[in-house]
């Protein structure tokens, strides 16, 4: 049976030249398991299947989160900080197209620069402040010198619409996404957006295709954005990714490999 290959396009936006990777416990992430005594074991309290423990007592380290809805970008969290203090809602600058090489092809080829406008739509945006804290088990383990494999960080979460348009209108895109601004030290990290676009959702006036000799299994776009109010900047990187059948000897049947190529940055 002949093998078929596929690819997708990834879009990444970086608002600062170099930023460390951030992670947090969020409601969309895989939850940190926090079993309660009573979920496993024997001879628990009434209504629990716990192991000689009080009802609801936790024995796994975890984050405890409290979510508060905010009225808008000007609404403050308990520390008196508002989202509008931390990120710009508009930005314009230069977008630089990358020279894309096989197996991915653009038609027409785009290896020039053009102006770009980015807007975070304030209307209809939904904002939340999420207060995150370690539970007592986690605190005890930290006190004992253990290094946990997760980190609890309070943050702003904003559901909003993002609009991007190049001056030559070769790329005009609008999509709904979630923006996060995490606490970092005594302040906040840059705001971040991660978003994926399927191939048919990408609205560029050019086509992305794969070398006929290397057909991909699937393709799409991924968008990552980072922004800060310090210099009112929004930057990013647009990438194209492609998945191909893994032909390496000894690879499990059906396994794939992914190639990622930069498409544009700003």
Distance of alpha carbon 223 from alpha carbon 262, whole angstroms? 12
The reported pLDDT for the residue numbered 244 is 81
Least confident window among 96-100, 186-190, 211-215? 211-215
What length is written for the chain?
A: 266
* Burial class of residue 231 in the structure, from the number of CB atoms within 10 Å of its CB (0-12 exposed, 13-18 middle, 19+ buried): exposed
Are the CB atoms for 195 and 201 separated by under 8 Å?
no
Q: Retrieve residue 258's tokens.
A: 């992914």
pLDDT-derived band at 214, boundaries 50, 70, 90: low
- The CB density around residue 23, as the number of other CB atoms within 10 Å, is 10
pLDDT-derived band at 128, boundaries 50, 70, 90: very high
The reported pLDDT for the residue numbered 31 is 41
pLDDT-derived band at 262, boundaries 50, 70, 90: confident
* Burial class of residue 64 in the structure, from the number of CB atoms within 10 Å of its CB (0-12 exposed, 13-18 middle, 19+ buried): middle
What is the mean pLDDT of the segment spanning 203-220?
75
For the entire predicted model, the pTM comes to 0.71
pLDDT-derived band at 204, boundaries 50, 70, 90: confident
What is the mean pLDDT of the segment spanning 195-224?
80
């Amino acid at each position: 049976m002949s093998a078929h290959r596929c690819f997708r396009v990834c879009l990444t936006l970086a608002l600062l030249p170099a930023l460390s990777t951030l992670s947090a416990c969020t409601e969309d992430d895989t939850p940190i398991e926090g079993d309660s005594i009573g979920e496993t074991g024997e001879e628990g309290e009434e209504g629990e299947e716990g192991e000689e423990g009080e009802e609801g007592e936790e024995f796994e380290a975890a984050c405890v989160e409290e979510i508060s809805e905010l009225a808008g970008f000007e609404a403050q969290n308990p520390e008196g900080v508002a989202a509008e203090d931390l990120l710009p809602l508009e930005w314009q600058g230069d977008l630089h197209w990358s020279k894309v090489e096989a197996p991915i092809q653009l038609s027409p080829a785009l290896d020039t620069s053009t102006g770009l406008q980015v807007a975070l739509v304030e209307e209809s945006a939904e904002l939340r402040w999420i207060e995150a804290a370690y539970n007592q088990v986690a605190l005890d383990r930290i006190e004992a010198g253990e290094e946990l494999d997760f980190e609890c960080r309070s943050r702003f979460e904003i559901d909003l619409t993002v609009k991007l348009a190049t001056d030559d209108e070769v790329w005009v895109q609008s999509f709904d996404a979630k923006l996060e601004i995490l606490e970092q030290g005594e302040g906040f990290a840059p705001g971040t957006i991660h978003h994926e676009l399927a191939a048919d959702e990408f609205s560029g006036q050019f086509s992305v295709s794969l070398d006929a000799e290397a057909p991909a299994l699937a393709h799409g776009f991924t968008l990552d954005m980072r922004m800060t109010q310090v210099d009112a900047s929004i930057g990013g990187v647009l990438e194209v990714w492609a998945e191909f059948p893994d032909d390496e000897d000894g690879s499990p049947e059906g396994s794939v490999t992914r190639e990622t190529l930069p498409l544009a940055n700003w």
